[in-house]
Amino acid sequence: MFLSAGSFQDWLALATLLTSWIGYTCYASYKAGNAVCLSSVLARYRQDWMVRIIARENRTSDASLLSSLRASVSFFASTSILVLAGLITGIAASEEAVGVLSTIPFVSTTTRELWELKMLVMVIIFVYSFFEFTWSLRLYNFGCVVMGSAPLYREVEHKSSEQLHYAKASGFIMTLAAKHFNFGLRAYYFALATLSWFIDPKLLMASAILVVVILYSREFHSKVLKVLAGYNLPDDFS
């Protein structure tokens, strides 16, 4: 049913969305290993954070920071469930939705099958985002356990090697949690681009490319990256 629902432009638009999404994810993961970007810079900051935890007697502030990170992830995970509920309702009301859209001259979604196909793609995107957010939340929970096991500075016999081992292990968990959180956020970006598919497939192609441009500029060429990486900063940040 779905194979005959969309036109060639619809399937081309869907292929453009998937290619842009998967292609940028692979590219960003590869570049993070050998280039200065937000992911690589923040990974070093997390490792430094874990080293400094050992020297602190009172770790209440660290626990509060970690709790704030977990709250952000939990918010998006809960939001994904709410969005999924709305999408399932939209699928159930496909006849009414197509009837309304057919009265709008610039909207290309005119059949029930095409509407259900597009809604199904949206459902898959938000199911994926939910799994990414919940896994990120679990990783942050693991980070809480690791943080609780951090030795005090005076208890460490071989301070340099012990600190380095703890910092690498806990920093890796925190970075992995942030990575999956970014995957979930990236799904939100491309879900917003997919909304334009309900208007016209060509608009989805343009939106998917625009999302890639925005993500690339923020990850590799943003002003905050210059601050975090310690580059020569401009006098004016406006």
The token pair at 194 is 């997919």
6 compared with 67, residue with greater pLDDT: 67
Q: What is the per-residue pLDDT across 195-231, written as a single tens digit (0 to 9) for each?
A: 999 888 999 999 999 999 999 999 998 888 888 887 6
**Angstrom distance (rounded) from CA 199 to CA 101:** 9
**Separation between Cα atoms, residue 72 and residue 93, nearest integer Å:** 32
Position 162 scores a pLDDT of: 67
- In 139-207, beta strands by DSSP E: none
pTM for the full predicted model: 0.87
Q: How confident is the model at residue 173 (pLDDT cuts 50, 70, 90)?
A: very high
Position with higher pLDDT, 141 vs 95: 141
- Average pLDDT over every residue of 152-158: 59
Is the model's pLDDT at 191 over the cut of 80?
yes
Instruction: Write out pLDDT tens, residues 118-131.
Output: 999 999 999 999 99
Residue 157 has pLDDT above 90, yes or no: no
**Position 27 pLDDT exceeds 70:** yes
> 40 with 118: CB under 8 angstroms?
no
- Residue 153: pLDDT band (50, 70, 90) is low
Q: What are phi and psi of 219, to 5 degrees?
A: -75, -35
In this model, does residue 42 exceed pLDDT 80? yes
In the chain, what percentage of residues exceed pLDDT 70? Answer: 86
Both tokens of 11, joined, read 């399937």
Contact indicator for 20, 205 with CB cutoff of 8 Å: no
